[in-house]
Amino acid sequence: MRGREADEISLRRELAEISRRAFNRGLVSGTGGNISARIPDTDQILITPSGVSLGDVEPEVNILLNLEGVVLDSSLGLKPSKESSFHLAVYRLRPDVMAVAHLHPPYATAYSNKGRPLPLVTVSSRVVLKEVPWVECALPGSRELYDFVCEGLKKHSGVRAMLMKEHGVLALGPDLKTAFYLTDLVEDTAKIAYIASHIS
């Protein structure tokens, strides 16, 4: 086994591991959130399925799509996340991105409701994130949400994370671990910003 097939098997395992870590870390609850990764040197991605908790994701449940959204493999007959469209938009608009995490961490999601960028209240957040802009609210899986994400990516070129109003965080990384760490940093920054705002 070699090449693309080996990459897919490895990514399936890592995607399952990161999904469970995100759930256990409290970055998402219930059956919310979705994570994807691009298979190197291909136009194919793996994405978590709709209706399955990230805490329960195993390698075989992840779904293989091409960049046009066509399902290439879903051995268990599951459907891809209904938010696949904006994951695919990220990969088309940002060739540097190899992994996308859309999660619902509570403090960052609360800040997303403010309709303004996340306050970067730590040195680490300013160095690593540089900015965390926000995009408007729309129903999950809708064309409107897809358009808002695309507009945000075009307006903020090179951005590593965005707040999605009333919806959570979108983190873009060169690999799955980085996308996970970026989401965790956004949530930690939001938590510190909240605490700081309540200290007199």
CA 147 distance to own-chain centroid: 16
Domains and CATH numbers, the chain: 3-197 (3.40.225.10)
How deeply is 108 buried, as exposed, middle or buried, from its count of CB atoms within 10 A (0-12, 13-18, 19+)? Answer: buried
Residue 7 C-beta-side C-alpha neighbours within 13 Å: 14
pLDDT value at residue 2: 62
The span from the CA of 5 to the CA of 62, in Å, is 14
Q: What is the 3-state secondary structure (H, E, C) of 22-69?
A: HHHCCCCCCCCCEEEEECCCCCEEEECECCCCHHHCCHHHCEEEECCC
pLDDT value at residue 33: 96
pLDDT value at residue 192: 97
pLDDT value at residue 173: 98
CA 148 distance to own-chain centroid: 15
pLDDT in tens, the chain (200 residues): 467 888 899 999 999 999 999 999 999 999 999 999 999 999 999 999 999 999 999 999 999 999 999 999 998 899 999 999 999 999 999 999 999 999 999 999 999 999 889 999 999 999 999 999 999 989 888 999 999 999 999 999 999 999 999 999 999 999 999 999 999 999 999 999 999 999 97
The span from the CA of 62 to the CA of 72, in Å, is 11
Q: Reading across the β-sheet that carries 63-66, which strands appear in turn?
A: 71-73, 63-66, 44-47, 34-38, 99-103, 168-173, 161-164, 134-135
